[in-house]
Structure 1
Amino acid sequence: MNIVKPAVLLLAATALVAGGTAAATAAKPGGTRVTSLRQTTDQILAGHPEPLKVTADQVRYDGLTVTAAPRGGAALKDLACDYGHLCMVVRGTKFDFYKCQTWNVTNWTGDGPFTNNQTPGTVARFFNQDGSVRWTSTAYEAGTATWDPIWSLRPC
C-alpha cells in the first residue's frame, strides 16, 4: 500500500491557507465561503497537494471533487454519484473520488451516506490509523457508514 505521509504536506497546505488564500479571497465576492470551504477541505483531506480549482461551492483535486452543502446551511442530501466514482457525505460535505490512489483523511466523524458506483466488483477499502482495513465496499453498493475513525481510503 502506498500511503503518502501527511505531516509535511498538511503543514504546507495550512500555511498557504493562512497566508495567500485569505488575502486572495477577501477581494472576491463570496470570498469568505471559498476560504471556509477550502479550510474545511484541508481539515478533512490530509496531506494532499494544492487543489486544481476552488470555487464558492467546490474544491477540485486531481481525482476528487469536494462539494459544500448548499447555501443556507441545509445538509447535502443528493448523493448522485457518476459511474466509476466512489461518493460519500462526511460532516455535510460531499466527496466524489474518481482516481485510484490512497487518500489520507482526518477529522472524519459521524455517520453519512456513501455510494460505490464503480465498475462492478471494484472494492473500496477504508483504513484504520495503523493501516489495517476497517471495512470494505464492493461496487455497486450504497448505504450509510460510520466515518470515525477512518484515516485513509482507497477507492479501488
Structure 2
Amino acid sequence: MNILRPVTLLVAATALAVGGSTVAATAADPAGTRVTALQQAADQVLAGHPKALEVTADAVRYEGLTVTEAPAGRAARQDLACDYGHLCMVVAGTKFDFYTCQTWNVKNWTGDGPFTNNQTPGTVARFFNRDGSVRWTSTAYQAGTATWDPIWSVRPC
C-alpha cells in the first residue's frame, strides 16, 4: 500500500496543469508506470480531495471512490458495469466509481462519456455548474451518455 500525502497530489496536479508529466515510462517498470498514470488521471479530474490514497496496480482508492482504467471497446462503453449502490462514469478515459454520499469537487471534466447510476432505486445523483447550481440529475436506475463539460462537482446521492 502506498499512502500519498497532499503535497504529492498537488505536485502531480500542477505538473499536469502546465502540460508536464511525472510519469517516467520504462520497459523495466510497466506496472509502476500504470499506477502513476492512474493516479495522474485521478488527480487531473478530482479537485479539493487531499485525503490519503491507496494506489495499487489496478486502482486508485479514495474514501468513497475508486478510480480505474476505463473499459476498452465500444460495447464496454455502452454498457458500463457498475456495482449496486454505486454511481459510475467514464471521464477522459478514466472510470470513476462513487459509492459514498458526499460532494466531490472535480476539474478538467471534458467530452462525453458513459455513466451508470446503479444506486438504490430513486436515488438522485446531482451534477453541478461552477456556481453551484444543478446542471443535471440522474435518478437510479439510469444509464446513458453524458456531456461532462462544464461539470464542477458531483454528489452521487
With normalisation by structure 1, the TM-score equals 0.78
CA 1:151/1:10 → structure 2, altered by over 3 Å: closer, same or farther?
farther
CA 1:136–1:47: 2 relative to 1, 3 Å = same
After TM superposition, give the deviation of residue 130 of structure 1 in Å: 0.4
- Provide, for residues 64-122 of structure 1, a one-character-per-residue CA deviation record: whole Å limited to 9, x for no partner: 0001146xx86863621111100001111110000000000001100011111111111
Q: Structure 1 residues 136, 154: closer, same or farther in 2, change over 3 A? A: same
Tell me whether 1:15 sits opposite 2:11 in the alignment: yes
> How many percent of aligned residue pairs carry the same amino acid?
74
Q: Report the more deviating stretch, 145-154 or 37-46.
A: 37-46
Correspondences of 1:3-152 after superposition (within 5 Å): 13-15=9-11, 30-69=31-70, 77=77, 79-152=80-153
Partner secondary structure for residue 14 of structure 1: helix
5+ residue gaps, structure 2, are 16-21
State whether residues 123 and 139 of structure 1, in contact with CA within 8 Å, keep that contact through their aligned partners in structure 2: yes
CA contact (8 A) 1:79 1:94 kept: no
Greater shift in the superposed pair: 135-144 or 45-54: 45-54
Native 8 Å contact 1:87 1:95 kept in 2: yes
SS in 2 for 1:126: strand
Mean Cα deviation higher: 145-154 or 36-45? 36-45
Change (3 A) 1:153 1:85: same
Task: State the distance in 2 between where 1:126 and 1:146 align.
Answer: 11
Q: Which amino acid aligns with 2:10?
A: T
Unaligned runs of 5+ in 1: 1-8
Under a length normalisation based on structure 2, what TM-score does the superposition of the two structures give? Answer: 0.78
Deviations 1:19-51 (A, max 9, x none): xxx69xx99652222112111110101111244
Instruction: Quote the offset at 1:57 in angstroms.
Output: 2.6
Measure, in 2, the Cα distance between the counterparts of 1:53 and 1:74: 27
CA distance in 2, matches of 1:122, 1:88: 16
Separation (CA, whole Å) in 1 of partners of 2:133 and 2:7? 25
